[in-house]
Amino acid sequence: MAQLAERPTATLPRIGKQGEPCVMVIFGAAGDLTGRMLIPALYNLARADLLSKEFAVLGVARTAMSDEDFRKKVHDHVKEYCPDCTEDELWDWFEKCFYYMPGDFGDKELYAKLKERLNKLDQEHSTHQNFFYYMATAPSYFGSIVENLAANGLMDQNDGHWRRVIIEKPFGHDLESAKTLNKQLLKVADEKQIYRIDHYLGKETVQNIMAFRFANGIFEPIWNRRYIDHVQISVAETVGVEQRGSYFDQAGSLRDMVPNHIMQLISLTAMEPPISFDANAVRDEQAKILHAIQPLSDEEVLSRTVRGQYGDGTIDGSRAEAYRSEADVPADSRTETFVAMKLLIDNWRWADVPFYLRTGKRMPVRNTHIVIQFRQAPFVLFRDTPVEHLMPNQLVLHIQPEEGISLRFAAKVPGPVMRLGGVDMNFEYQQYFGKQPSTGYERLLHDCMIGDQTLFQRADMVEAGWSVVNPVLDVWKALPPRNFPNYPAGTWGPKEADELLEKDGRRWRNFEK
């Protein structure tokens, strides 16, 4: 057995359980996701002493590279996101954990070679035959890669070792394809081996939704239709499609964001208290919410949904080109870059409380937030004062770029006249707990290493999310948009999105820089 360097003491104190010994195989290791997110996340875990000493990474991709070439890429990626990290003692150990083998994912012979290489790495790093496979590839490879792994015995679990697979979204492009992918995976793997990853759930504020709701006695009693008027979920991006024009034009904002990211945010916001924090107990409650969302009829799709596509505009003083002018986008594209919807949840807690959601590209700011707007207090006490209206209380969960929570309430403005002013009470994670190095993937990778599926979607959750989206896809396909582009880049979307709330006597909460 080769002599490996002893890992030095981590640079950060360990908080939590250390990951189990394992080899991580990254399919698509030469891609952007691996460099920008996965490798820096692994290094952050190492610094926090959450990686086992018996750990290795094997990158697999078409690009021809040696182990040393791959290690140089790893060094460059970590150096970019953490300039001081590659100079510390931990780096020597971390760098030697990385290996590489080139190959075509469709070549069946690759998997026999992979098995042989994994057995060798297992012996060198004492990883107890524990392997997990990360699919950083195009979605079309997900099913076939897992089938080939299984055919070569690389998904078999016996003698106490485990095998797991992490799949990046999208999980299908509609309900039927999602069901097909689930059947393909579950034919050769158990649900407990499949980790469907959604990086939004790696964000602290998203994880904190359950702690905020269920650990604080002042909020859970009012988290229902009696006190809450409506809920808004907004995912705004300033970027366009960047280098993903060909992919995005096939997907669109509805497929790209709603059945995964936004459905996860809805389920965590609306779920009932689970009986424990066991993974299936939590996901059972999330699944119930997704199944309780009222499906939209064809008529309701027309009245409760809005789609948009950005045209020329200005963001931060710079000109932004129209979507149809982006690289690899057809000049007559009818793909939506903005979506707004009104959904209702058909259960006791949320009956008649609308959930408004929107997501769009080329918006004025990058901001993801959940607004809980409470019902207004009775006006009777203030009927003989100059106060013209009472502003509703709002609780806002800020998810990105700043993570935190704010509460808006009314207070009297100092002076002899009764005047009310809005007050925001703010909490920011970074100010209170300090900044921690994070790409958003650390928690998710660590959870896979310790076998915790709480933050990963189950097959039934994926299909329930697509069940909500599918009727909208069908109507939009049958009735192509006639007015694209219908909002300038740098604005909050088409006017119809504002009208969606205005006809209910409500309005969006927009956050400026």
- What is the set of active-site residues? 261
Which residues, including other chains, have CB under 8 Å from residue 448's CB and lie 6 or more apart? 132, 164, 166, 195, 456
Whether the bond between 471 and the residue before it is cis, its omega within 30 degrees of 0, is no
Q: Shortest CA distance to 360 belongs to which of 307, 302, 296, 301?
A: 307
Q: What number of other Cβ atoms are within 10 A of residue 443's Cβ?
A: 22
- Classify the phi-psi angles of 48: left when phi > 0, otherwise alpha if psi is within -120 to 50, otherwise beta: alpha
Do the beta carbons of residue 262 and residue 357 sit within 8 Å? yes
**Using the 8-state DSSP alphabet, how is residue 29 labeled?**
T
- Classify the phi-psi angles of 219: left when phi > 0, otherwise alpha if psi is within -120 to 50, otherwise beta: alpha
- 4 φ, ψ to 5°? -105, 150
User: The dihedral of CA 195, 130, 134, 10: what is its sign?
Assistant: positive
Which residues, including other chains, have CB under 8 Å from residue 109's CB and lie 6 or more apart? none
Q: What number of other Cβ atoms are within 10 A of residue 418's Cβ?
A: 12
Q: Give the Cα separation of 363 and 238 in Å (integer).
A: 5
The helix (run of H) or strand (run of E) holding residue 96 is none
Strands (E) located in 73-227? 98-102, 131-135, 163-168, 194-197
- The helix/strand/coil state of 103 is coil
Q: What angle do CA 177, 178, 180 make, to 5 degrees?
A: 60
Q: Shortest CA distance to 131 belongs to which of 40, 224, 34, 24?
A: 24
Which residues, including other chains, have CB under 8 Å from residue 99's CB and lie 6 or more apart? 56, 57, 58, 59, 67, 70, 117, 121
CA distances from 45 to 121, 163, 303, 441, 456 (A): 21, 20, 47, 10, 19
Do the beta carbons of residue 280 and residue 452 sit within 8 Å? no
Structure-token pair, residue 390: 């009472």
Q: Give the Cα separation of 205 and 221 in Å (integer).
A: 21
Spell out the alpha helix ranges (H) of 233-330: 245-257, 263-270, 279-292, 298-304
